[in-house]
Structure 1
């Protein structure tokens, strides 16, 4: 199984277009040892090098596709290596890129939960719009734990992990299971697993068991502290209010409990998080715990 990190930042990217926090201002002035990142998305394939599954379609999808030529096999005038799209939620940061994929030559096989499908056909009807262009072949993700396979990568199997979370701010729905999911992806040839959870409010015993049986965990790295945005004066919301477990609020401790052979990688990193600075004390602390920080273009092979 091959995993490409298309974008490693949280919503807004890094630097964020309207942000002058120490991180964003510093990287613009080239005063920090930090690399820019686009908004969170990954691509996964099995044995077939031309059959990729896009997990979340960020607003930066066109730049991400340009930066990853593996996703453009060039077999015809109109071609792509993306065979399927899987969504972990219906947030704007994970779905706006669908508009940019409207020139596809056939309907997109798109996997999502019922709650995400409801949002994307009513309050924010992206899928209704796409039906007037390339079309969408919606596939249902069962949050009860049923395994599924995607087209072109039958050597991989997928399972949704229901996570605590809320509908997007634009949605008027009450919270329900499936608003936020993680993904367990297993390579049937090697029996090696990826646990992908870019948005984690807290970790319970069932989620930790799945993480413990995975050879790589690619998990929520949004905030360093719970009060990060409050201290900077850019928001009144804490990390927990936004559905994220901060590194110092418990994520590092949970990752420390994983087997020594498990690869630990943080993704969906907010522009304010000091771990973006590669020579920062916070990054050094992560390294001492064998925790990596994802970056655009990073490749993981399991």
Structure 2
């Protein structure tokens, strides 16, 4: 005796809906994959895989050329902490440079944003002028300012007899430090200005008008209303300037080359010389891993602190 199972119309409709839903999900996955896949692939090949390889090479004595890669374990890291005072000197210089550059760059960028957010006829032209230095490459910019410090300032000093222009700007440890800070701030402040302007334009003008009617001064408007409302922009700008200042290389090497007497040598230059001039690729990679950890800690703490202020605001 055979039993016949008849599939009713509701069951067929349910099966059709399930199939169509699966097709829609598959189409969505393929669409996402088509757009995100290439970027993810390049990110893996250019960023993640070299980073993992760098971690591996930091435990070897590879010279960057030989096919022989000898595993040495923690020897490179021990050598850095015990026998490499120049690396820590470059860390101290880079940290001081970062602190000075972050403060000056953001003050300049925010000040220019406040100025150019006003109703000025030439504000669009001025925004372009202040942003242009960020477009110029660091090496080219460094050589331009090297000529200004060495030749231009000397000529102005001879004409005006002002002592500030007669200083050995790139020949002394103190003035060379501030020379690099000046050039870096001049290059990056225009970029920060654009971010701050975008944030200022998002501030609700009715709040400012109401505060003015209540008798609030310009300083009160700035500190009690404007700055708390644009704290996300400060978070972004601090993050960018901290990471850029820590990683300074091209500007540093074209202005001073780390001199005089390695007094302005950044961590990036120290790592470059260790890996590609001294042919100690394993040791240089170990330094870069330590450098990465320090920058990651600094930026993470900064973002957490400023994000906390955003929530409170």
TM-score bracket, normalised by the shorter chain, equals under 0.3
Higher helix share: 2
The structure, 1 or 2, with the larger RCO (C-alpha pairs under 8 Å, 6+ apart) is: 2
- TM-score normalised to the size of structure 1? 0.24
- TM-score normalised to the size of structure 2? 0.23
Higher strand share: 1
